[in-house]
Amino acid sequence: MAGESLVALAERLGDLCREHGLTAATAESCTGGLVADAITDVAGASRYFLGGVVAYADRAKTVQLGVGPELIASHGAVSAQVARAMAAGVRERFGADVAVAVTGIAGPGGGSEAKPIGLTYIAVADHDGVDVRRHLWSGDRAANKLASATAALELLLERIVTTASAGAVGASGGDEA
Amino acid sequence: MAGESLVALAERLGDLCREHGLTAATAESCTGGLVADAITDVAGASRYFLGGVVAYADRAKTVQLGVGPELIASHGAVSAQVARAMAAGVRERFGADVAVAVTGIAGPGGGSEAKPIGLTYIAVADHDGVDVRRHLWSGDRAANKLASATAALELLLERIVTTASAGAVGASGGDEA
């Protein structure tokens, strides 16, 4: 079972998905399934969570998520470009309304000067497009996984709330016009 | 981070995969990513763990794992047949040597007289074929997820050890002949 703070975020995700009639999917590299695990700790998650891909190997990113091999070759698996493609890919493949993707270097190996341990990109996709954020965590492997999973759920929640309130304003404006 | 006992099993998996030069993949329904999360808690897991699919929705099982829709319609998503197809499917799609799949009813909802809460099928696939086991857990959602993830890692370890020792006996027999 995922930690309490993660599960609290996952419960909030469940509330929002039910409230707005949304389905969700996940694409995870460095978090390795922790985001999906937290989401599915919530009873009734099958009503809005369609599933996800743990794409550790590059081949998993291309075959399961449709990330272009040239994108990985040009920018590296840990990049804003690949995070965006993972989020858009998992959303399309699973037929979900919203999707979140995480790619990063959890450590202790795999870091470089250009891409240090803790570097993580998190992307969120919905019908309006894809956004990506860059993080640089300073913990050990377990702490970096947890920080990334927390940030992924937070970004997903933020996007749903923002889109929902923008939709409400738009509808209200239309009524007034 | 997954619990200590799960991570101990995941560390053993890492040792065996490195020892025998094997790659692994996972397909999870009711465990929701917990197996992959435990495997990726081990530093260096990217050397042998290719990734996995969290296939919560039926569509995820068909699109991401190649499970036949008619198999789900005939036997239900929680069945020995679907567990076998998930294991074989994820092994093929990820190009892994060994793969494990879990499908079950974690609860508290989703149970029936024919398929009660806690019913879980776990399948393991390698080049020799696919095996499946049936379990009936009696815990709550969190306990059932943990029991299923533990049994999945145990089955994967058992299969690797058995196949490896059978291979060694076969090679030894060949040498003596």
Over residues B129-151, mean pLDDT: 97
Interval B107-119: pLDDT, tens: 999 999 999 999 9
- B17-29 pLDDT, tens per residue? 999 999 999 999 9
Mean pLDDT of B60-71: 97
pLDDT at B57 over 70: yes
Q: Do B56 and A49 touch (CB under 8 A)?
A: yes
Interface test with B, best of A17, A18, A37, A59 (most B CBs within 10 A): A37
pLDDT higher than 80, residue A172: no
Q: Min CA distance, B50 vs chain A (Å)? A: 5
Task: Select the residue from B11, B23, B46 to test the A interface by mutation, using most A Cβ atoms within 10 A.
Answer: B46
**Which domain does B43 fall in, by range?**
4-172
Contact B40 A50 (CB under 8 A): no
Q: How far apart are CA B64 and CA B89, in angstroms?
A: 8
CATH number at residue A110: 3.90.950.20
When pLDDT is cut at 50, 70 and 90, the band that residue B165 belongs to is confident
Whether A60 sits inside 8 A of B51 (CB atoms) is yes
pLDDT tens, position by position, B115-132: 999 999 999 999 999 999
Per-residue three-class SS string for chain B: CCCHHHHHHHHHHHHHHHHHCCCEEEEECCCCCHHHHHHCCCCCHHHCEEEEEEECCHHHHHHHHCCCHHHHHHHCCCCHHHHHHHHHHHHHHHCCCEEEEEEECCCCCCCCCCCCCCEEEEEEEECCEEEEEEEECCCCHHHHHHHHHHHHHHHHHHHHHHHHHHHHHHHHHHHHC
Q: DSSP H helical segments within chain A, as ranges?
A: 4-20, 34-39, 58-65, 69-75, 80-94, 141-176
Number of domains in chain A: 1
**H/E segment holding residue A56:** none
- Measured between CB atoms, which of A37, A93, A110 is closest to B33? A37
**pLDDT at site B37:** 98
pLDDT for the residue B4: 77
Nearest-by-CA chain A residue for B94: A60
| Residue B177 lies inside a defined structural domain of this protein | no
Can you tell me the distance from the alpha carbon of A113 to that of B99, in angstroms, rounded to the nearest whole number? Answer: 35
Q: Please tell me the distance from the alpha carbon of residue A153 to that of residue A26, in angstroms, as a whole number.
A: 10
Chain A residues in contact with B103 (beta carbon < 8 A): none
Q: Using 50, 70 and 90 to split pLDDT, how confident is the model at B164? A: confident
Rounded Cα gap, residues A85 and A80, in angstroms? 9
Model confidence band, residue B167 (pLDDT cutoffs 50, 70, 90): confident
- pLDDT given for residue A171 in this prediction: 41
Within-domain flag for B110? yes
| A43 to chain B, closest Cα gap in Å | 7
Banded pLDDT at A1 (limits 50, 70, 90): low
A106-164: pLDDT as tens digits: 999 999 999 999 999 999 999 999 999 999 999 999 999 999 999 999 999 999 999 88
What is the rounded distance in angstroms from the CA atom of residue A28 to the CA atom of residue A26? 6
- Cβ–Cβ < 8 Å for B118, B104: yes
Considering the domain boundaries, does residue B148 fall inside one? yes
Taking the C-alpha atoms of residue A97 and residue A127, their distance in angstroms, rounded to an integer, is 7
Residue A166: pLDDT band with limits 50, 70, 90: confident
**Residue at B83 is within a domain:** yes
At residue A3 the predicted structure's pLDDT band, cuts being 50, 70 and 90, is confident
ipTM of the complex as predicted: 0.92
Mean pLDDT of chain A, nearest integer: 93
- pLDDT in the model for residue A104: 97
Q: Residue A99: which residues within 8 A CB-CB, separation 6 or more?
A: A24, A25, A26, A27, A87, A88, A90, A91, A124, A125, A126
CA-to-CA separations, A31 to A17, A120, B51, B117, in angstroms, rounded = 22, 10, 11, 29
**Chain B, nearest residue to A59 by Cα:** B94
Percent of chain B clearing pLDDT 90 (strictly above): 89
Q: Is residue B105 part of a domain?
A: yes
Average model confidence (pLDDT) for chain B?
A: 93
User: Is 0.80 surpassed by the pTM of this model?
Assistant: yes
pLDDT at residue A72 greater than cutoff 70: yes
Residue pLDDT, tens place only, B74-118: 999 999 999 999 999 999 999 999 999 999 999 999 999 999 999
Q: In what order do the strands lie in the sheet with B129-136?
A: A129-136, A119-126, A98-104, A24-28, A49-55, B49-55, B24-28, B98-104, B119-126, B129-136
CB contacts of B59 in chain A (<8 Å) are 50, 94-95
Nearest residue on chain A to B106, alpha-carbon basis: A43
Would you tell me how many other CB atoms lie within 10 Å of the CB of residue B107? 21
Q: Which of B1, B32, B64 sits opposite A146 (nearest CB)?
A: B1
Q: What is the SS3 assignment for A165? A: helix
| Cβ within 8 Å, pair B46-A57 | yes
CA distance B33 to chain A (A): 5
> Is residue B38 exposed (0-12), middle (13-18) or buried (19+ Cβ within 10 Å)?
buried
Query: What is the reported pLDDT for B176?
Result: 37
Residue A109 DSSP label = S
